[in-house]
Structure 1
C-alpha cells in the first residue's frame, strides 16, 4: 500500500464522521451532497498525501470541505452562498472555533522556541512582561522584542491559513 492510500485510510477512520456531520449542516441536511463533499475532500487529501499528517489534517480537511460546498453553490448559480458569517447555521459543537484553535496551535508550533515561550507566558498564562522575563530568565526588553516578532509571524501564518484578513 502506498503512502496516499494509507493516509486516506487513516483520515477516513479519524475524520469521516466529524467531517460528514459538519458538511451535513452546511448542505442543509442533504446526506448525499454531504457524502459527495466528504469523498471529494478525501480525494484531494490523497492528492496532497506528502503534505498531510492524519492527526493534524483536521483544519485542512474542514477548509477544503467548506470551500467545496461554497463552490457547489456558485456552480449551480444559486446566487447568494448561504455560508457567510450571518448565514451559517448555529453549530452546537463550535466546529469553527475548534478549527480556528487548531490553526492557531499549528501557527504557534511553527514559531521558534523562544518566540513561542514568550507568547505562551504573556497571552496564555497572562503574565506581565516583568513576570514573563523572570520566568524565562531574560530581560524585559527581550520579552518585548520577542513578542513583537512572534506576533508578526503569527499574524502572517494565520493570514496564509485564511484565519485573519491582511
Structure 2
C-alpha cells in the first residue's frame, strides 16, 4: 500500500517538473513585462507553481486551460505584490511615532495680521504699544525711556489701541 502513494508522488513530481519546464519561462517573461523587475518575477513564478502544486486536480487540466490558469494566478500575484506594504516601502517600528507637531498656522496668520495692523499706526502710537505690550514696560518706565510725560504715554496708548482696533476691523477681524 505504501508503494502506490510513492508512485503517485513520483508521477506528481514529474508532472510538476514538466509544468515548470513548459511554463516557467513564459510566466517569468510575462511578469517581467508587467513589473519591469526580474527579481520579483522569480518570486512570482515560484509562488505560481507552488499554488499549482497545492491545487488538487490542476495538473489534470487541459494544457490550454492550465496555461490560462497559471497566467491568471501570476497576474493576481503581481497585483497583490503591488498592493502590499513591502511594495510601498512601509515599515513597522518598535518605537512610538514622534509627537505630533501642533499646527501653528493660525498663530502665524495672527502674527502677520498684527504686524500689518501695527505698521498702519502712527509711529508714536506703534512705539508705545510695542514697548508696553511686547516689552512689558509700565507707563512710568515708558515715560522715562521716551522722555515724555506719563499722561502722554497713557494718551498714546489709548489712541494707539483705538487705531489698532480700527485697523483690525478694516482687515475683517471682529473678535
More contact order relative to length (CA 8 Å, sep ≥ 6)? 1
TM-score, length basis structure 1: 0.43
- For the pair shown, the structure with the greater C-alpha radius of gyration is 2
TM-score, length basis structure 2: 0.41
